[in-house]
Structure 1
Amino acid sequence: MDAMNPAASEAAHFRYLMAIRGWVRFPALIAPGLLGALREELDECYATWRAIQLRNGVAEATDGTLHHLAGRGGAVDRFLAGLPLHDEITGFLGGGPYVLNACGAYLNRPDTSAYVGRIHRDVRGFSAPYVLMINMLVMLDDFTEENGASWMLSGSHHHPDRPPDEVFLAHAERNTGRAGDVVLFDSHLWHCAGVNRSAAPRRALTIGYTRPFVKPQMDYTRMGPEPRDEALRQLLGFNARVPDSLDAYYQPPERRSYRADQG
């Protein structure tokens, strides 16, 4: 590594660990005040999200989950607007702009289970070595083995097939850490949430970022007003919208809904 350039050395270290292990944890990136606001927002939102899950008959598989929290103007949007690890995400996704693919949370409540407790990866297809997506996990509580810290199978992002349960459990590592830590991982990586055997929820944000031409899981541009913050506009896909008419298509570059730098 380049001892004369600490930033270059850190970037090289990140690239190496992502290539070999497929995940990297960054300690103490989130300020206590924002952590508290994020926890409070998730707790307030859960009753509303849960009512929708129950109403639509998907309660069993989604217990403790909240999907598509962005665009509401609260603590989650404040976190996204001041996004940590922007340079690392940009470099991993090829050096250009990126957009939000999904922004959710998992409460991992004691003695409950959801689909995130099954061995899975967060992209259905396998495009390696070309990467389309990177995941971010934001620890809002301490992650311990007792309260269900995630299992991460290092190196499995190079393999298209789901590992057998016995192989996964024999070789996966526990993703333990402190509230405020942030983990980036290759979306091809096989992983799962652990079982929470404590007395309190273990909360985390679960976020995915993609190259702009990848279709997001939710059309954030139609969910709420267009944000004034330019970083949030980019992240929510306002610079990568598909035009809906010929009039919208035939526009000068600066007024196009899909900007030229979006890939």
Structure 2
Amino acid sequence: MDSLSPTERRQLELQGWLLLPGVLPANELAAMHAAWERLAATLPNEGANTNWGPDLTSDPAFALCRTHPRVLAALGVLLDDDLHVRWLHGRSPPRGHGRQGLHVDWSSPTPPERQILANAFWVLDDMARDNGATRLVPGSHRWARMPRGQYAQPQGHHPEERVLEARAGDVLVFSSHLWHAGACNESGRRRRVVLAQFCRRELASMNEEYR
């Protein structure tokens, strides 16, 4: 259950992403919901911007986001098993917000054979087109170039992009160098996600701002 099939590994290598269904059991999902609400209550400006969400790095309820074997196996394909937690943060775009231009999470292109960052998005609420599902362009982590022009604008659209829908308890793993973006939460239904970013050892002590 904690290992990946050859097909899953191949998808990660060639397309740069993999959706792992049903990773979180009901009790763990409920614990994360409760911890999110507790942390959110201490923040004054919920919904004030498109990337709002609590810092989850040190909360024990989210420790599984650092250690789940199947998720780490998927991340390890992208980072050659050189895995170090960079941060855990929440994102919950309010109604009418969340649309981003396509971007990557590093300031310059990286060689396809040596990705340096990878993400695991822990889905805490059902994620669909109407509440801000993640958009990504499969295979773009191998292009060694950044999104530019209209692709990098919030209303831009790439002809090869996909909108990934997921259920609460799923985990979306993808290269941080894959072109990706949030979509607009048009319905106002909650769409809480734990963003867990991992890096190689040489970056573990660096604090480059998340883009």
What's the CA shift string for 1:139-172, capped at 9, x where partnerless?
1111111111111111211231215436734321
- Cα distance change on mapping 1:171 and 1:60 into 2, 3 Å: same
TM-aligned CA deviation for residue 61 of structure 1: 4.8
Give distance in 2, aligned partners of 1:61 and 1:124.
22
Structure 2-normalised TM-score? Answer: 0.82
* Counterpart contact for 1:111–1:197, Cα < 8 Å: yes
The structure richer in helix per residue is: 1
TM-aligned CA deviation for residue 31 of structure 1: 0.7
2:96 aligned residue: 111
1:156 aligned residue: 140
1:125 and 2:119 equivalent? no
TM-aligned CA deviation for residue 126 of structure 1: 1.8
3-state secondary structure, aligned to 1:48: coil
* Counterpart contact for 1:109–1:196, Cα < 8 Å: yes
Give distance in 2, aligned partners of 1:107 and 1:150.
12
Letter in 1 for 2:109: F
For the aligned residue pairs, the C-alpha RMSD in angstroms reads: 2.7
What's the CA shift string for 1:118-154, capped at 9, x where partnerless?
3211222222221112111111111111111111111
Task: Name the count of aligned residue pairs.
Answer: 201
Which residue, out of 59, 65, 72, partners 2:53?
65
TM-aligned CA deviation for residue 186 of structure 1: 0.9
1:146 aligned residue: 130
**1:167-186 matches, cutoff 5 A:** 168-186=157-175
* Counterpart contact for 2:104–2:180, Cα < 8 Å: yes
Letter in 1 for 2:84: V
2:34 aligned residue: 40
Give distance in 2, aligned partners of 1:209 and 1:79.
11
Give distance in 2, aligned partners of 1:183 and 1:216.
25
3-state secondary structure, aligned to 2:157: helix
3-state secondary structure, aligned to 1:165: helix
* Counterpart contact for 2:109–2:146, Cα < 8 Å: no
Q: Which has the higher contact order (CA 8 A, sep 6+)?
A: 2
Give distance in 1, aligned partners of 2:202 and 2:129.
38
Unaligned runs of 5+ in 2: none
* Counterpart contact for 1:24–1:185, Cα < 8 Å: yes
1:205 and 2:191 equivalent? no
1:13 aligned residue: 7
Unaligned runs of 5+ in 1: 1-5, 54-58, 219-263
3-state secondary structure, aligned to 1:168: coil
* Counterpart contact for 2:127–2:133, Cα < 8 Å: yes
Give distance in 1, aligned partners of 2:51 and 2:72.
31
What's the CA shift string for 1:199-224, capped at 9, x where partnerless?
32211111111112213466xxxxxx
Give distance in 1, aligned partners of 2:162 and 2:87.
25
- Cα distance change on mapping 1:82 and 1:14 into 2, 3 Å: closer
